[in-house]
Structure formats: C-alpha cells, structure tokens
Amino acid sequence: MTLLVTGGGGFVMSVVAGEWLARDPANRAVILDRGALDAAAERYFQPVRDRLTVIEGDVRGDNAWEALDGLGITAVVHGATVTPISRGSAAEAKRQPEAEDPARIVEVNLMGTVRALEWARRSAGLKRFVYVSSGSVYRHHGPDWQGEPLPEDGYVAPLTLYGISKHASEMVVNRYADLFGLSALSVRLSSIYGPMDRVTASRSFRHVPNRVAHMALAGDVIRPNSLDGAGDYLSSVDVAGAILSLIDAPALRYRHYNVASSVISTTGDFIRWAAEKVPHLHCEVTAEADANIVQDTALRDGMWGAYDIARLERDTGWRPRPPQEAFHAYMDWIVQNELQPVAGRP
C-alpha cells in the first residue's frame, strides 16, 4: 500500500509517514510538501528513505497534484496546514500571528483541502481520506457537566482563523464524501508534542511538554508562571498510531474523531516527570513577565480540557500510552536524536 501524507516534512505528519513505513517493509509513502525535507527530516527518514518519495509543491496549485498521478496511492492523510499559534513565553503571548498573513491561513488550510479532495475524488483505488483537523474547532468552555471529557458533537464554535479554516475544511470533507462516495473523515487533535517537534516554516509553537523536556535536559531553570496550567497532551507517536488505525479500520461509523490522551496533565506534572529523568532539575514559579513557560490557568475545559476518545476506541481499539510513559519516551528520543552525548545525562 502507498500512503500520501501532505505536509509530511513537518512535525506530526513526518511521524505519521515514518510510522507507516516502519510498520511493514512492503509499505511505501509519498510526501507532498512545500519544500524539500530539512536535515532533521532526512535523518528521521534515513532508515526507510528508499521507500519514500518526496514531491515539492504547493497544495493550492494544480501542478503538485498532477505529479501524484500514477503513483498508486491507496490512502491519504491530508495534514498540510499553517498553524499560527502564539503562546508559551511572556513575549510570545503578546503576539497575534494570525494578523501577519491572515489570507494565507485560509488559502492553505481551506483551499488546499479543496484541491486535495478534487484530486482524491478522481483517484481510482483510493480507499480512505483522513483530514487532520484540530481541537481549535471547539468552544473555550464545555461540556455542560463538570468533569466530563469533550465529545465531538455539540461544542464546535471556533474563534480563530486557524480554527475557522479547520472547521470549514471538515464540512467540505463531509460534503465531498457524500457527493462522490469517498470514505473520508476528520481527526481533531488535542495539544501535540513529541518526536520531530521543531520549528518549521508552517509552525513555530512548542507546547509545554516540549519546553519542559528540552529545558530539563539542557540544565536550564524552568520558570513557569504557575504549576496549574493544564491541557490534554498527546505524543506525536500516539497520534500516528491513531491515524493509521483509522486507515486500517474496515468500517467507520463517524465523520469526526477526537485524537487525544483523554486526561488532563498540568505543567507541574511534566516538571515532576522530567525530574525523574533529571534529578537535579530546578524549577522556580515566577511572575508572568519573567516566566519562560506561560499558561492561562483559567483555561481548563472546552478545547483546553480533556477530550472524549470513545469513538476512536470503539471503531479501532486504539488507546494512547499513559502520559508519564509517553513523556519519558520523548525525553529519551531527544537525547538519542537531538542532543550530543554528555557524561551523566540519562
């Protein structure tokens, strides 16, 4: 089987392509991305590079899609996107990156999806189309009953151009599925970190687990504005497993699936777990202006809370790893893939 992954040179999508290739020596993958693989991606794909085809092109244009014809693609994961998020440190929290180029966000995220669907509906042998959406489509608050995880239905009300473009794309995917008989669905990701999380041309934001892991391993003092900032954080490796399970599923009952850990983890949790790997880690809770990790502690439900993953569990049997286990595995990956060996480092 041959999997097409758009945006496959980036963060999560590179892991999707890599996990697909690693699971079966007969699998092949095609990446469609705006540019060539960077050095990190080349290193990541090196063991499977002979089964990977990389096509450079803009998902908004015809030429890129025409280049895919005849490659025998059997499934698509459409993840090419512009992710203009600003949070993390006090300085970054003041930025509104959506204001810098709003038209590009809508053009790439929405019209890029339309072009992908236009190609998909004409492709013989295509078995499934997975659109990679986001928890940004949800409201900032919900569910109505405290403590319940956020379901896929009833709480959709995006406020940002990113969330709006993602929701609009979901609806377009649904309509193309009905019009042309496509087996198509959308996955809504919670807050993702993990292997291959790095600054790229389309994404520059790093979630709390990424920051904590790198600061701890570098020996930096971690200075959060609070230990109580929270989120539903999931490793990119677990995301890949979830998406591939949806590609494999013989039948799916829903058009939208949450992909998440389904539990809340706090900044304090990640710092405590990091200290289990780096015993001399130092943390100082400080004022927001001096903090190197800033979170709004009032954001604990809706898109910021735990997501319900019952649909995904029922239809595929997929389950995420426990958050502590996934975070420790990520720290190990950083040591093995991003850092030079240092005596005494775990």
Q: What is the pLDDT of residue 151?
A: 96
Burial class (CB in 10 A: 0-12, 13-18, 19+), 91: exposed
Q: What is the pLDDT of residue 243?
A: 98
pLDDT in tens, 103-125: 999 999 999 999 999 999 999 99
Whole-model pTM: value is 0.93
Pairing of strands 265-266, 230-231: antiparallel
**Euclidean distance between CA atoms 111 and 274, whole angstroms:** 41
Q: What is the largest CA-CA distance in the chain?
A: 60
**Euclidean distance between CA atoms 150 and 172, whole angstroms:** 23
Instruction: Report residues of the chain scoring pLDDT below 70.
Output: 85-95, 201-204, 340-346
Structure tokens at 116: 């992908």
Helix axes 161-180, 112-121, angle to 10 degrees: 10
Q: What is the pLDDT of residue 147?
A: 83
Chain centroid to Cα 337, Å, comes to: 20
Structure tokens at 172: 């377009």
Pairing of strands 2-6, 28-33: parallel
**CATH homologous superfamily for 2-205+232-264+302-323?**
NAD(P)-binding Rossmann-like Domain (3.40.50.720)
* H or E stretch covering 134: strand 128-134
